[in-house]
């Protein structure tokens, strides 16, 4: 039985981890931390977990977490890096859902996240936790940098094209929409339903923190730098990421690209390539760890359009983190994640 700790158990990704791990047969949730709610039963804050999680929130300290085999950080950026060295020194594996270890260039990380990195020497040891790309490295990793929600949807959509040099890397466009839960569980004017409902907007057009993460991943696959325009949008829904991706083809036919995507992902339990001409809908992956993808070539022109949808809290966060844990501990990759999307 794997003893799990969750640092930051009161946010949306933290409670999503609890929802998934509560029914995972190979896991015991040993520690759940929250400074603000220390001493309170987890199921008092989240009654949906009554009868499944008996833990009490505790303060996040090393001695308490020492009883764990793996610790998930569902925390704001800058928290995991403060504790990582001590936990790793005690043989405890780490799966970080924040951005602390995603970027390999520490100066680039500091520029985007506005702080000095506390343990830059660990960055090179961190394995980027996109299983469809780094499965073998994840299996032997001690420290996982779990991808962001936008980067997950975008990279899975572009991956087969870049692996096979089928699009021009100088003209990549990612037009991506997110539900409001992507902003986290906090009191913020811009996230109020009365502010987001009946409205739709782009934001951070001049530079979003996920841009360098996406560009880094795409460049590694392409084997060269890429030029990416990434525009995120906020939509009046709770869950979901919808990525509309554009690339300029270098001669391949749509039928061949469809076959390529189907072949690339045929053994990936959490990536579903839809029939040609389909339009994936975020509601069809809501609550699941699935990514659904479809490919289009409008008017038979040189622009290829890839549609990629995920649930930002599951495949974009907690579900992917559990997928990584399963690989790290030699379990079935889909253990605890066999969930059919909610409908309606």
Could you tell me the pLDDT band of residue 250, with boundaries at 50, 70 and 90?
Answer: confident
C-alpha of 94 from chain center: 15
Query: Structure tokens of 252?
Result: 């391949």
Catalytic choice (68, 119, 146, 149): 149
Catalytic-residue membership of 149: yes
Residue % of the chain over a pLDDT of 70:
100
Could you tell me the pLDDT band of residue 200, with boundaries at 50, 70 and 90?
Answer: very high
In the chain, the domains with their CATH numbers are 2-125 (3.40.50.720), 150-312 (3.30.360.10)
Q: Exposed, middle or buried: residue 317 (CB in 10 Å: 0-12, 13-18, 19+)? A: buried
Whether 62 has a pLDDT exceeding 90, the answer reads yes
41 DSSP assignment: B
- Its pTM surpasses 0.95: yes
Distance CA 164, CA 33 (A): 44
**Residue bearing tokens 């936008």:** 150
Looking at residues 51-79, what average pLDDT do you find?
Answer: 96
Q: Which of 311, 303, 324 is nearest to 285 (CA)?
A: 311
Q: What is the pLDDT of residues 285-331, one digit of tens each?
A: 999 999 999 999 999 999 999 999 999 999 999 999 999 999 999 99
Query: Structure tokens of 199?
Result: 């409205």
Looking at residues 46-67, what average pLDDT do you find?
Answer: 95
Residue 252 in contact with residue 166, Cβ under 8 Å? yes
Query: Structure tokens of 34?
Result: 């929250």
Residue 69 has a pLDDT of: 98
Whether 153 has a pLDDT exceeding 80, the answer reads yes
Residue % of the chain over a pLDDT of 90:
93
Would you mind telling me the total number of residues written for the chain in this entry?
A: 344
Mean per-residue pLDDT of the chain: 96
Whether 188 has a pLDDT exceeding 80, the answer reads no
Residue 184 has a pLDDT of: 77
CA dist list (Å): 80 to 62, 65, 195, 196, 198: 12, 13, 32, 31, 36
3-class DSSP assignment, residue 337: coil
Query: Structure tokens of 6?
Result: 């969750």
Give the ranges where 224-318 is alpha helix by DSSP (H). 254-264
Looking at residues 6-13, what average pLDDT do you find?
Answer: 94
Looking at residues 200-225, what average pLDDT do you find?
Answer: 97
Looking at residues 18-22, what average pLDDT do you find?
Answer: 97
Q: Which of 102, 51, 71 is nearest to 8 (CA)?
A: 71
Distance CA 293, CA 9 (A): 31
Q: What is the pLDDT of residues 68-120, one digit of tens each?
A: 999 999 999 999 999 999 999 999 999 999 999 999 999 999 999 999 999 99
Residue 187 has a pLDDT of: 66
Looking at residues 148-166, what average pLDDT do you find?
Answer: 98
Pairing of strands 127-128, 143-145: parallel
Residue 291 in contact with residue 270, Cβ under 8 Å? yes
Could you tell me the pLDDT band of residue 279, with boundaries at 50, 70 and 90?
Answer: very high
Full DSSP string of 43-94: HHH-GGGTTT---BEE---HHHHTT-SEEEE-S-TTSHHHHHHHHHHTT-EE
Q: What is the pLDDT of residues 170-183, one digit of tens each?
A: 999 999 999 998 87
Residue 194 has a pLDDT of: 81
């Amino acid at each position: 039985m794997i003893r799990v700790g969750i640092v930051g158990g009161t946010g949306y990704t933290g409670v999503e981890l609890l929802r998934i791990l509560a029914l995972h047969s190979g896991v015991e949730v040993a520690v759940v931390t929250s400074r603000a709610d220390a001493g309170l039963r987890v199921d008092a804050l989240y009654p949906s977990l009554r009868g499944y999680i008996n833990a009490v929130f505790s303060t996040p300290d090393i001695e308490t977490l020492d009883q764990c085999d793996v610790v998930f950080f569902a925390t704001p950026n800058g928290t995991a890096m403060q504790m990582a060295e001590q936990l790793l020194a005690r043989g405890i594996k780490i799966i970080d859902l924040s951005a602390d270890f995603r970027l390999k260039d520490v100066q680039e990380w500091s520029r985007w996240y506005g702080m000095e990195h506390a343990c830059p020497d660990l960055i090179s040891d961190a394995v980027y936790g996109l299983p469809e790309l780094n499965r073998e490295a994840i299996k032997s990793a001690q420290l996982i940098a779990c991808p962001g929600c936008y980067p997950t949807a975008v990279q899975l959509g572009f991956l087969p094209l870049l692996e096979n040099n089928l699009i021009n890397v100088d003209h990549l466009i990612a037009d991506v929409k997110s539900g409001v839960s992507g902003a986290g569980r906090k009191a913020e004017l811009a996230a109020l339903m009365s502010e987001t409902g009946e409205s739709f907007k782009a934001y951070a057009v001049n530079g979003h923190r996920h841009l360098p993460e996406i560009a880094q991943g795409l460049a590694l696959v392409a084997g060269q730098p890429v030029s990416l325009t990434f525009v995120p949008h906020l939509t009046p829904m709770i869950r979901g990421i919808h990525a509309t991706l554009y690339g300029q083809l270098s001669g391949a036919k749509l039928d061949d690209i469809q076959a390529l995507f189907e072949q690339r992902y045929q053994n990936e339990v959490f990536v579903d390539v839809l029939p040609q001409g389909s339009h994936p809908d975020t509601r069809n992956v809501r609550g699941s760890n699935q990514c659904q993808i479809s490919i289009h070539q409008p008017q038979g022109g040189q622009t290829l359009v890839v549609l990629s949808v995920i649930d930002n809290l599951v495949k974009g966060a907690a579900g992917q983190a559990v997928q990584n844990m399963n690989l790290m501990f030699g379990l079935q990759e889909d253990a605890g994640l066999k969930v059919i999307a909610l409908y309606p």
